[in-house]
């Protein structure tokens, strides 16, 4: 297959190629608003040749942020986001907003708002119990996702990617371990999938066919008692039948309980301890080895799981995880995936695609050391990439 670099249809939009920059939280919004630094991050990725970049992470409510420096979608954020989407479009790429609610992954102390969980649990991040939303509050959360998508449309985004992974709110509802509710949103697989389905339908209804709507779905949590591949396959087939989504991006792991399954590769324990605020730092010292497990990194490391989804579903699928060169992309296409998403390789080299296009044997310089991960607490970057000199000045400027 050599059609990686030709235009491809994603619902109502057409991307100039089949490569999507996966959401990697940028930490460039110190006052929860767009900065020039955030715009430059995405302009550079777009100039590097991707079909679409993804702005991570746009919370749909202030309490849905992992901390208070994250952007949340509200009318004041639209002008800055519009400048960002204009600048990506000027480089010929499309741009997606990853929208969602962090649920149990939110830091309540930082947000000064309670973290949400499907059932009673204690938040190790906020050091307090989480709030369990009742049905009226769930309706409000669904409405917030629809409103977030509407604001993204106003800001000129081509797509929204709804976060259904990593034990963020919707993913925590999918998990039999975290969701022990007795109402319509807990218990059976159908009940635990209800929130995902209702959000997908509400977002579609909000934006019609004026935007592409995708979701990033956990294939499994990688946690004892959590969501497994067979259950996720069932959820995915319901999402397909509902017809609200243009594609699914397939992920795995839990930011709360097993983050390294997302990434594979080295577990940067020491860097995490240094980067984390207290008391999370003390917790990491105690449980770092159990929390940050190591999974051997290899090209297309989520393919075996994702292949099962490809077999069962007809809707477009996006393969993610360890895609770093043309061989990986060709493998994804040969296996029937419509798009590929790349995270760390593009943090390392935003212009990687241009290099691959001009030399098919190009290999990524990313060594999956994962030391980019703890940089999310300050300003996300590949630690091997030189920084521009004026970066401190750029970082704090709101738009
Ligand atoms: C620094 C960093 C930040 C990330 N932030 C997010 C995020 O905000 N939302 C999300 O869904 N995934 C996030 N991810 C996960 C990536 O989207 C992707 O799933 C993962 O890195 C595997 O893809 P890769 O092998 O191409 O890097 C992040 C990854 C990294 C390295």
pLDDT by residue (tens digit) across 54-81? 999 899 999 999 999 999 999 999 999 9
Using CA atoms of 46, 206, 101, 339 in order, give the dihedral in degrees to the nearest 10: -40
Residue 347 has pLDDT above 60, yes or no: yes
264 CA: nearest ligand 1 atom? 25
Q: How confident is the model at residue 399 (pLDDT cuts 50, 70, 90)?
A: very low
Distance of CA 158 to the CA centre of its chain: 16
Rounded to 10 deg, the angle between the 189-207 and 229-242 helix axes is: 40
What the block records as the tokens of 327 is: 């061989």
Summarised one tens digit per residue, pLDDT across range 233-261 is 999 999 999 999 999 999 999 999 999 99
pLDDT given for residue 389 in this prediction: 54
pLDDT given for residue 394 in this prediction: 41
271 CA from centroid of ligand 1 (Å)? 17
What phi, psi does 349 have (nearest 5°)? -140, 95
Per DSSP, the three-state class of 257 is coil
23 CA from centroid of ligand 1 (Å)? 6
Q: Which helix H or strand E contains 348, and what residues bound it?
A: helix 344-348
Residue 398 has pLDDT above 50, yes or no: no
Q: Are strands 128-129 and 122-123 parallel, antiparallel or unpaired?
A: antiparallel
What is the percent of the chain where pLDDT is above 70? 96
15 Cβ inside 6 Å of ligand 1:
no
**Closest by alpha carbon to 279, among 169, 80, 70, 126?**
126
Rounded average pLDDT over 113-120: 95
Provide the total of helices (H) and of strands (E) in the chain, helices listed first: 15, 12
160 Cβ inside 6 Å of ligand 1:
no
* pTM, entire model: 0.95
Q: How confident is the model at residue 322 (pLDDT cuts 50, 70, 90)?
A: very high
pLDDT given for residue 343 in this prediction: 98
pLDDT given for residue 395 in this prediction: 40
Please state which of the ranges 194-203, 266-275, 318-327 shows the lowest mean pLDDT. Answer: 266-275
Using CA atoms of 185, 190, 195, 199 in order, give the dihedral in degrees to the nearest 10: -160
Q: How confident is the model at residue 178 (pLDDT cuts 50, 70, 90)?
A: very high
Per DSSP, the three-state class of 154 is helix
376 Cβ inside 6 Å of ligand 1:
yes
pLDDT given for residue 1 in this prediction: 46
344 Cβ inside 6 Å of ligand 1:
yes
Please spell the DSSP secondary structure of 52-97, one letter per residue. EEEEEEEESSGGGSSSTTS-B-SGGGHHHHHHHHHHHHHTT-EEEE
Q: How confident is the model at residue 158 (pLDDT cuts 50, 70, 90)?
A: very high
**Closest by alpha carbon to 318, among 301, 333, 308?**
333
Residue 126 has pLDDT above 60, yes or no: yes
Q: How confident is the model at residue 397 (pLDDT cuts 50, 70, 90)?
A: very low
Summarised one tens digit per residue, pLDDT across range 255-301 is 999 999 999 999 988 888 888 777 777 777 777 777 888 899 999 99
Cα–Cα distance, 290 to 283 (Å, whole number): 11
User: Are 362 and 325 in contact, with CB atoms under 8 Å apart?
Assistant: yes
342 CA from centroid of ligand 1 (Å)? 8
Rounded average pLDDT over 82-97: 98
55 Cβ inside 6 Å of ligand 1:
no
227 CA from centroid of ligand 1 (Å)? 19
């Amino acid at each position: 297959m050599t059609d990686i670099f030709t235009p491809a249809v994603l619902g109502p939009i057409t991307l100039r190629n089949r490569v999507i920059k996966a959401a990697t939280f940028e930490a460039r919004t110190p006052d929860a608003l767009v900065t020039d630094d955030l715009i430059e991050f995405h302009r550079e990725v777009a100039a590097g040749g991707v079909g679409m970049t993804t702005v991570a992470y746009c919370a749909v409510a202030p309490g849905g942020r992992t901390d208070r420096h994250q952007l949340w979608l509200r009318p004041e954020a639209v002008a800055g986001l519009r400048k960002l989407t204009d600048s990506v479009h000027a480089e010929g790429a499309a741009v997606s907003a990853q929208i969602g609610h962090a649920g149990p992954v939110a830091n309540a102390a930082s947000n000064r708002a309670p973290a949400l969980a499907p059932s009673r649990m204690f938040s190790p991040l906020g050091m307090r119990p989480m709030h369990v939303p009742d049905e009226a509050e769930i309706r409000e959360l669904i409405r917030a996702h629809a409103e977030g998508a509407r604001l993204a449309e106003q800001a000129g985004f081509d797509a929204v990617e709804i976060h259904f992974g990593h034990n963020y709110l919707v993913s925590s509802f999918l998990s039999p371990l975290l969701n022990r509710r007795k109402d319509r949103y807990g218990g059976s697989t159908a009940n635990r999938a209800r929130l995902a389905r209702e959000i997908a339908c509400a977002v579609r209804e909000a934006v019609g066919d004026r935007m592409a709507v995708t979701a990033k779905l956990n294939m499994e949590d990688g946690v004892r008692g959590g969501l497994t591949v067979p259950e996720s396959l069932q959820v995915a087939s319901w999402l397909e039948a509902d017809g609200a989504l243009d594609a699914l991006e397939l992920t795995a792991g839990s930011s709360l309980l097993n983050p390294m399954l997302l990434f594979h590769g080295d577990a940067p324990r020491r860097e995490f301890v240094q980067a984390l605020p207290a008391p999370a730092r003390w917790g990491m010292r105690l449980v770092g080895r159990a929390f940050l497990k190591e999974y051997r990194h290899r090209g297309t490391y989520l393919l075996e799981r994702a292949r099962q989804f490809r077999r069962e579903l007809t809707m477009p699928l996006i393969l993610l995880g360890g895609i770093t060169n043309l061989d990986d992309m060709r493998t994804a296409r040969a296996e029937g995936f419509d798009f590929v998403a790349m995270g760390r390789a593009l943090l390392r080299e935003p212009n990687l695609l241009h290099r691959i296009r001009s030399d098919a044997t190009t290999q990524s310089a990313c060594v999956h050391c994962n030391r980019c991960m703890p940089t999310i607490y300050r300003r996300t970057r590949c630690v091997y990439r030189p920084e521009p000199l004026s970066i401190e000045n750029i970082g704090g400027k709101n738009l």
